[in-house]
Structure 1
Amino acid sequence: MIKKGMRRQIVLHYILVVFLALLLVEVIFLLVIRTYYYDSIYTRITTQISQAEYFYRLSSKDSPFALQELLRSFDLNNTELQVLTLDGDMITSSTGFQPDRTITTSDVPEAVGGGIGRWVGRQTGTNESVMAVSKVLQIPGHDSYVLRYVTSVERVNSDLFNVTLLSAGIVVAVLAVVTAFSFGLANSIVKPLNNITAVSAQLAKGKFNIRIKGDYRYEIGELASTLNYMAQEIVRSNQIKDDFISSISHELRTPLTSIKGWSETLISGGYDPEETKLGMSIISKESDRLIGLVEEILDFSKLQQNEMKLSIGTVGVQELLKEIILNLWAKAEKRSIRLELEAEDGIYVRGDANRLKQVFLNLTDNAVKFSHEGSSVLLSARRVNEEEAEIVVQDSGIGISQEHLNRVKDRFFQVDSLNGGTGLGLAISQQLVELHGGTMEMDSELGKGTRVTVHLQLTEPLPAVEAPDRVSLPEPADHHERKEGQQ
């Protein structure tokens, strides 16, 4: 007995389907064979009746001698020919027995009704299976009789029974072969699943280095590949998480050390106002840095839990990019990096101004951070069509390799961990852009720079709001006049 499980279900279902199919085929086959044999007998008898009727019409005699001649001339082997009245009373028969009995089978009324009657059943007295075929012999001006042939179908039934036994044997043999085949089929499915289940149990226990081995095909192969990929991604995520914890610990410890050190120094007293002012400035700066790190982590947590709320309004892209440049000008000036703006007038998008500023501030800050000294960072905006705007942040800095480019927007991933940060900036920017119904694409070549393209849906400006005044951007001391975009 097969124990309960998928193997048993597969075997039983497969055998059941094949058995029902074979049973249906066998029933149809036996019905066809039986119908063929019975119809052959019926056809032979009806042909003989037609000849007898033709002979009777030619003789035109209504006498016992004509009927006897009919019996002698048109008798069939192993068949009794009977002549009956229209009421079913037997007048004579080819056997000469029981001439006074009345026939009550359904073939006689059918023949009297004008057709050829056919009846199959068991004959009274002998209990033998027979077929009776009857037809009325009628000549105008003469008496009408019923000509009835009765033949045994025992031999036919015996042959049909033998055919049934043979077909049943074939069915049993086929089922035996199918059963053996179904076990092989079930094992080919169940064994890989058992292997996958065992590996999954190991993965559930935290053994993520284990993999499903075996060249499985079709859906099982896809399942195995998916689980292996899942395990690989878990290992990678754990590694990224560990790297993130290590990185964020360092990021948090550095400002905390500065704050603690200067706090203890200031508490001890004995410093002039300038030194005190310097210490307080460092404490304030490091506190802002800590707040930025914490806010970044909180933003990411909200995005992951779909709890980020947007304050939707109409945002002027040119004015937004100007604010970005003003915010980062001092940082860029320290490294002699030019911030350039090329933006078409009248580009407005629908979104949260603060969150969009966060996106482009992060993108521009990254561009400044990874640009060479004396290079430039370009912020541009243009209409792609009547429905979409394209905003680009492009630098000519160190660039990103193709290997890292595919992962740079993953959470916690950092191309260069020495530059600090949580590795969440681009992941947050990507999700914020998607929340605005836009897309963010990155193109980069190692050593030649990076281009980040953001597509956002255009909207009409608020009619009551006047366009803001032009913002004059400060110029770097060591460079030419900075190139302005369309203002």
Structure 2
Amino acid sequence: MGDGRAQGGPLPFFRSLRFRVTALVVAVLFAPTLLYLRIELPRLVAITLPLSLLLALWLTRRLVRPLEALRRRALAKIHEPTPSADLPLQGSAEMQDVAAAFNALLAALAERRKANEAFVTDLVHELKNPVATIRGCADALAEAPAEHERAARLSRLLKESSDRLDTLVSQFLELARAEAGMLHEARERVDVAALARGLVVAMADDERFAKVRFTVSGASSARVVCVAYRFESVLRNLLENAASFSGDGGKVHVSVDVVEGRRVEIRVSDTGSGISAEDLPRAFDRFFTTRGREQGSGLGLALVRAIVEAHGGAVSAASNPGRGATFAVELPLAPAL
């Protein structure tokens, strides 16, 4: 029992007394502060609440309203027949940056629109020429009975013009699909090194280029993800273009290399007359050709660029006049399986 008294004796009492004294000291020390807060807190709320509302209103006027005004001006451009890049650079530096970005976008769209308008104009011009020839031949045949030689000549002209028109329309459709990105065409892993070797063999056997020497070098294998028949048309177009400019006794060389383990570079070089410095920037323009309308439509290299860019690649041309030209195609290397 002595142990029980020791455990429940005066020690808990002193602990309780110490707690009460501590509480009393804290209350005495902080009572003025608590009383002050009780009195002043409503005043602080009454002052800070209006200030907060005023600050929110100021931020709204400074940030939201200029942004809303810019949005309205940008949407108004939809109803303009020819939207111009003239959004005013007003407000804060951030708002001016946004307006400048909209202007840059509008300027780029305007350039694209001009290019499309020029393209349509060129297309109409190109289509009118063979159509006019076909109409003239048909009128001549219809006017009176023709002699055999005259009829044969008119028939040949009709066939050549209709063939050219068919080729032109087909290339135009292919170009339009390629520039749209070929989003719905299946893509697969293709060894472009093997493809290049096969095309070189086929071109060497083509009687049109019997006097042109074709060679190929580079990696034994280089795979890319592409629309197979589309990329085959790219290489075939570049090879035929190089061979036609090389002429009899000329050489065409194809190299396929894997660069930095990330991309594939294909280079097609010829020993022809080359491309002048004035014409080089226009090499991939639609309807641009230096061979004359009877030998080319001017859509081949434009189609090459559109297909390559649709595959996430790039194509370029370099030339020393009198020493041939080189066309380079770069594509992302296919990821390892």
Farther off after superposition, 253-262 or 384-393: 384-393
Counterpart pick for 2:113 among 238, 243, 253: 238
Aligned to 2:276: 398
Counterpart amino acid of residue 307 in structure 1: H
Is it true that 1:115 corresponds to 2:3 in the alignment?
no
Relative CO higher for 1 or 2, CA cutoff 8 Å, sep ≥ 6?
A: 2
8 Å contact from structure 1 (residues 325, 339) kept in 2 = yes
- 1:265 deviates by 1.8
8 Å contact from structure 1 (residues 390, 453) kept in 2 = yes
- Following the alignment from structure 1 to structure 2, what is the Cα–Cα distance between the partners of residues 253 and 446? 36
List aligned pairs for 1:163-178, cutoff 5 A: 163-166=37-40, 169-170=43-44, 172-178=46-52
Counterpart pick for 1:201 among 75, 92, 95: 75
- Following the alignment from structure 2 to structure 1, what is the Cα–Cα distance between the partners of residues 61 and 103? 22
Is it true that 1:191 corresponds to 2:65 in the alignment?
yes
Is it true that 1:318 corresponds to 2:197 in the alignment?
yes
- Following the alignment from structure 1 to structure 2, what is the Cα–Cα distance between the partners of residues 192 and 376? 69
Quick one: structure 1 residues 384 and 357, their matched pair in 2 at CA, closer, same or farther if it must change by over 3 Å? closer
Quick one: structure 1 residues 270 and 415, their matched pair in 2 at CA, closer, same or farther if it must change by over 3 Å? closer
8 Å contact from structure 2 (residues 319, 326) kept in 1 = no
Counterpart pick for 1:382 among 233, 251, 255: 255
- 1:240 deviates by 1.4
Counterpart amino acid of residue 202 in structure 1: A
Q: Deviations over 1:348-372 (max 9, x none)?
A: 6667775344213433566688x6x
SS state at 2:327 partner: strand
- Following the alignment from structure 1 to structure 2, what is the Cα–Cα distance between the partners of residues 358 and 441? 14
Q: TM-score, normalised by structure 2?
A: 0.68
- 1:446 deviates by 9.0
- Following the alignment from structure 1 to structure 2, what is the Cα–Cα distance between the partners of residues 376 and 219? 63
SS state at 1:307 partner: coil
Farther off after superposition, 170-179 or 180-189: 170-179
- Following the alignment from structure 1 to structure 2, what is the Cα–Cα distance between the partners of residues 312 and 265? 54
Q: Deviations over 1:206-233 (max 9, x none)?
A: 3411522215667645532332122112
Counterpart pick for 1:247 among 103, 106, 122: 122
8 Å contact from structure 1 (residues 440, 452) kept in 2 = no
SS state at 2:184 partner: coil
SS state at 1:115 partner: helix
SS state at 2:150 partner: helix
Is it true that 1:133 corresponds to 2:21 in the alignment?
yes
SS state at 2:183 partner: coil
List aligned pairs for 1:143-154, cutoff 5 A: none
- 1:380 deviates by 1.8
8 Å contact from structure 1 (residues 318, 345) kept in 2 = no
- Following the alignment from structure 2 to structure 1, what is the Cα–Cα distance between the partners of residues 331 and 29? 89
Quick one: structure 1 residues 457 and 117, their matched pair in 2 at CA, closer, same or farther if it must change by over 3 Å? closer
Farther off after superposition, 223-232 or 442-451: 442-451
RMSD between superposed Cα atoms in Å = 4.8
Quick one: structure 1 residues 400 and 115, their matched pair in 2 at CA, closer, same or farther if it must change by over 3 Å? farther
Counterpart amino acid of residue 267 in structure 2: I
Counterpart pick for 1:292 among 157, 167, 173: 167
SS state at 2:15 partner: coil
8 Å contact from structure 1 (residues 399, 450) kept in 2 = no
Quick one: structure 1 residues 328 and 358, their matched pair in 2 at CA, closer, same or farther if it must change by over 3 Å? farther
- 1:246 deviates by 1.0
Quick one: structure 1 residues 171 and 257, their matched pair in 2 at CA, closer, same or farther if it must change by over 3 Å? same
Quick one: structure 1 residues 217 and 249, their matched pair in 2 at CA, closer, same or farther if it must change by over 3 Å? same
8 Å contact from structure 1 (residues 441, 452) kept in 2 = yes
Counterpart pick for 1:266 among 136, 141, 146: 141
SS state at 2:146 partner: coil
Quick one: structure 1 residues 271 and 359, their matched pair in 2 at CA, closer, same or farther if it must change by over 3 Å? same
Is it true that 1:180 corresponds to 2:92 in the alignment?
no
Counterpart amino acid of residue 275 in structure 2: G
More helix by share: 2
8 Å contact from structure 2 (residues 218, 256) kept in 1 = no
- 1:151 deviates by 8.4
- 1:176 deviates by 4.0
Quick one: structure 1 residues 178 and 311, their matched pair in 2 at CA, closer, same or farther if it must change by over 3 Å? closer
Unaligned runs of 5+ in 1: 1-108, 120-131, 135-148, 460-487
- Following the alignment from structure 2 to structure 1, what is the Cα–Cα distance between the partners of residues 250 and 61? 63
Counterpart amino acid of residue 133 in structure 1: V
Counterpart amino acid of residue 397 in structure 1: I
- 1:308 deviates by 3.5
SS state at 2:21 partner: strand
Q: TM-score, normalised by structure 1?
A: 0.50
Aligned to 1:257: 132
8 Å contact from structure 1 (residues 348, 458) kept in 2 = no
SS state at 2:67 partner: helix
Counterpart pick for 1:225 among 100, 124, 135: 100
Q: Deviations over 1:372-397 (max 9, x none)?
A: x9899753223425985633245622
Q: Deviations over 1:387-438 (max 9, x none)?
A: 8563324562224578x46xx75xx756679966877544532353467x68
Counterpart pick for 1:162 among 36, 50, 73: 36
- 1:163 deviates by 3.4
Quick one: structure 1 residues 391 and 446, their matched pair in 2 at CA, closer, same or farther if it must change by over 3 Å? closer
- Following the alignment from structure 1 to structure 2, what is the Cα–Cα distance between the partners of residues 177 and 363? 71
Unaligned runs of 5+ in 2: 1-8
Aligned to 1:429: 304
Quick one: structure 1 residues 401 and 292, their matched pair in 2 at CA, closer, same or farther if it must change by over 3 Å? closer
SS state at 1:397 partner: coil
Quick one: structure 1 residues 255 and 377, their matched pair in 2 at CA, closer, same or farther if it must change by over 3 Å? farther
- Following the alignment from structure 1 to structure 2, what is the Cα–Cα distance between the partners of residues 168 and 154? 23
